[in-house]
Structure 1
Amino acid sequence: MFDGMQKRVVSMWFPRLASDRVLRIRQISGPFALTLKEHNANRLYCLNETAERQGLYRGMSFSDARAFCPDLISATARPDLEARFLASLRRWAMRWCPWVGIEGNDGLVLDITGSAHLFGGEAEMLDIMRSRLIHTGLSVRIGLGDTRGAAWARAHYGEGAALADLPVAALRLDEGTVTGLKRMGLRTIGQLSDTPRAPLARRFGSELLMRLDQALGAQPEQICPVVEPPHYGVRLSLPEPIGLEADVMAAIARLLERLCNKLAKQQAGARVLCLTLRRVDAAAQDVELRLARPMRNARSILSLFQRGVTDVDAGFGIDQIRLEAVQVESLPARQITHIGTRNPDRRDDLISRIGTRIGLENVHRFLPADSHIPERAFIIAPAAYSQPESGWVSLHPRPVLIFPPEPIVATGNRPPTHFRWRRTELTTGRTTGPERIAPEWWLDDPNWHRGLRDYWRVETRQGRRLWMFYTPQNPGWFVQGEFA
């Protein structure tokens, strides 16, 4: 479409992006700076114009800054929030052209080829950009050029200057290269372009010439727009308010079909869903659904919403329903074969159903742990956020129920013939053992202060199958578990 048309690029530089973001919310008339800890020292990260006029600068020690400017107001920098803010500015800039990329951590680059005439020309477009950004409280410098490098150079070193008159630092070079060029007497881009290339390449490497060619247009440089992540949200506005549970569930079913189709196209599944029901009085109620596995089957998910919808107060009616998958995981398609009929997802679906009643985080499973001590040989983890282990390795059987050791009265190093446990007289029928277990000497466990343990499986004539141990170093008998 644009074959033969001269490429035009706009570079937006926000020199005070971090401080402007904070000052848009918190108005401060005096000197203000954001600080960031670097190499165990608190330094100025970004500051407003008032602070710069008082001699403060980026990278300055915060203690020195307070000595120079006692009235300095400071706050801690949040680079993560600044990145999100810059991403929102990128989305805003897409009103000017579809090709918008992020330049570093404080700039944007726009390919406005073929779109300037929609706003009255390039000059008018830049004026509108600048006025709208300044109106929102942002400091901005805008450069225009035939290449990305030229636009960046004008935004940072002179908006209306000729490219040849700009300093060599405008070529996006590192400080060492800029210093070396100045020592050779090469201070502007024009002087650099008139210098023989071979000596420059031998001394400074190929990156210098690449940056020069990119700025002059001899070497192309692409503008890569950021790919928007898929949004998994659907909404339904109702012509008439509804309040019956059956009507709400029918509306949710329609939304789930649309949402699951979106998920299927991206081969993804929802782990957390948020249902928002807006009433006619503008109040809204949320129903959150957490799943034990990523799902995109509308029919299976719909039944899990039933309990949450039942507890909703519809008031005078619901006129809008919104459904969003707020946490999504990969769910690729699986090959269906004729071998095997077991459904590995049934367990996770059961966990999801139980979780809707008691909370997904309250459903636990046992997982093996790397320890030969019986009470440390397992951990308890949330079932929805862990995978079952098939590698339970034990040379000797372990009881289903393990509890703290309970002493019994007995003598000798073999299980007693008769003993009393939990107010019950028991008679030994059959025994298996012993299995000697030594304590973990590298851990200080008061439960193992008696030393070695010789474990026995004891089947009593009364039907109890106990797990007992004897401590030979400090003689005594204990019951620690019971087999099913």
Structure 2
Amino acid sequence: MQIPTPRVTSLQQGNKVVIAAACPIARGLGLLPGMAITHARALVPELVITPADPEGDRAALLRLAMLGARRWCPLVMPSGPDGLFLDISGSAHLFGGEARMARRIVGLLARHGFTAIIAIADTPGAAWALARFGGGPVIVCPPAAHVDAIAPLPAALRLEPPAIDLLKRLGVETVGQLAALPRAPLARRFGGSVMARLDQATGRLPEPLDPVVPPEAIAVTRRFAEPIATAEAIEHWLRDLMPRLVTALAEAGQGARAIELVADRIDGVPQRLRIGLARPTRDAAHLLRLTLRRIEEIAPGYGIDALTLHVRRADPLGAQPFAETLEAGTPDLAPLVDTLANRIGPDRLWRTAARESDVPERSVAAVAPLDPPQRAAAKLKPDDVRQLDRSPDVHPWHPRWPRPVRLLRRPEPLDNVLAALPDQPPRRFTWRGKTHRVVRADGPERITGEWWKRATERHSVRDYFRVEDEVGERFWLFRRGDGERSESGDLAWFMHGSFG
């Protein structure tokens, strides 16, 4: 059984590096945020340390707030680096009550990999204190009971660390003790911040939220006094709607990546037509051509009383010149890609890109057709490639052993394989119900498992062979295992590709 490894993130703070966040295992070992990394490493030598990304954390928290504003309640505001304030007044009954709503949010976040604690109280300050010090995944404070609920909790109340340390030196440990002190001496020593936070938590001082505002969806609509039912009428009004949609995109500084035409029929059955785009665009003529080519997919029924163009996905797109000139020999492939993708489906159009992996099926991946090349080696000249091949100390950008023209997505098992161990190629095998007799073979080429990525591949081995059968077909197949050690594989044979 593998023992979990404690993990923390580090952050530069002045002249020292401290812990920014710690996993539950690290916290159980006494490694808390604010502790020096050198001290933490001395306590736990096997500690895994990852640099913190405050900007990325803030962006992720803002995306989560946007999700909450769209799904749970309209008033959502980030609170610190790891919290959200939600004003669920008037929204909880839509989810079956406050407790049930909180449990549903915790479950939804858990499915996305987030561990959440939710507290519901009359004031944001009380909810903040209960969520961090209440000790439960879901805490629902009864109405008008928040003052007594937070009284035994630590006197943090969203105060700055120097104020918290000074309160501890004065012997003030809980919110109840802080509330019992005379207000005038506290104000003279701490200023107004401590009393303001206390009054906000108890409800004496209002604390309005400044919620995030999700961007409005871009859409244009045309409603008709009399229903339309012909392709010519739909085309006429699309020619009116598309320029309006492009104008709205330009005002928002966005380019469409996916648009959807919704035709509302009078019988309440909407007709939907979705158009995908390879890159952001505001070309009204191009968008109109893609839409009109599929207009026959709309079934008007007894008539359509409204047409709406929605932008389902958009990316930032700056100002574009009126006449865009392309360099000689570099035609714009985006219109062709859009036409093909919307005709045969976006999942059937891709290009391959190299990946850093020794396992053949992991060394290539399907990417979008217009994605830029990701390997600088693809730009090498032939002389450079030959020089790499001659050098024994430099691994070339392409494998020394030939690779098949067609690589199967997943290796397929072979049956009735006849081969001598430990390193002989097969003499006969059956693939997809057909028996092949091998007349020529080359190999083996040994590929070991990626033990630095997957512990299960620590001892795995593949021996690859290039074989040719009696009719001239050439295949790329492998045996799982080295033929000597049982832990290296079960000696099963697989087809992985073909050379013709």
TM value normalised by structure 2: 0.48
Structure of greater Rg: 1
- Relative to the length of structure 1, the TM-score reads 0.50
Task: Select the structure with the greater relative contact order (CA < 8 A; seq sep ≥ 6).
Answer: 1
